[in-house]
Amino acid sequence: MLIFPDQNFFFMSHKIGRSSFGDPANAGNLLSIEEAHALLNEWVPNERLRLHMKQVAAVMKAWALEKENADETTARKWELAGLLHDADWEKYPDEHCRIIIEELEKRNIDPEVIHCIASHGPNYFGVEPESTMDRMIYAFDELSGFVHAAALIRPTRYEGLEVKSVLKRLKSPAFAAQVSREDINDAVSRTNYSLEELIQFIIDHQKDVN
- For Fe ion, how many residues bind (rule: CB under 5 A)? 4
134 binds Fe ion (CB under 5 A): no
Tally of CA atoms within 13 A in the half-sphere of 106 that contains its CB: 6
Q: How far is 186 from 158, CA to CA, in rounded Å?
A: 26
Binders in 146-205 for Fe ion, by CB under 5 A: none
Nearest by Cα to 179 from 166, 188, 167, 170: 170
Mutual angle of helices 163-171 and 195-206, in 10-degree steps? 120
Least distance CB 156 / Fe ion (angstroms):
25
Least distance CB 12 / Fe ion (angstroms):
15
Q: Which of 2, 58, 114, 198 binds Fe ion (CB under 5 A)?
A: 2
Cβ proximity to Fe ion: between 26 and 44 the closer is 44
Q: How far is 37 from 80, CA to CA, in rounded Å?
A: 9
Q: How far is 80 from 19, CA to CA, in rounded Å?
A: 20
Nearest by Cα to 126 from 21, 14, 3, 12: 14
Q: Which stretch binds Fe ion (CB under 5 A): 19-27, 80-88, 99-107, 178-186?
A: 80-88
Cβ proximity to Fe ion: between 26 and 144 the closer is 144
116 binds Fe ion (CB under 5 A): no
* Residue of closest CB approach to Fe ion: 2
Cβ proximity to Fe ion: between 3 and 26 the closer is 3
Q: How far is 161 from 136, CA to CA, in rounded Å?
A: 22
Q: Which stretch binds Fe ion (CB under 5 A): 91-99, 141-149, 166-174, 192-200?
A: 141-149
39 binds Fe ion (CB under 5 A): no
Evaluate the CA torsion angle 10, 13, 14, 19 in order and state its sign: positive
86 binds Fe ion (CB under 5 A): yes
Least distance CB 176 / Fe ion (angstroms):
14
Q: Which of 88, 112, 141, 183 binds Fe ion (CB under 5 A)?
A: 141
- Phi and psi based region of residue 165 (left: phi greater than 0; alpha: psi -120 to 50; beta: remaining): alpha
Contact footprint for Fe ion (CB under 5 A): 1-2, 86, 141
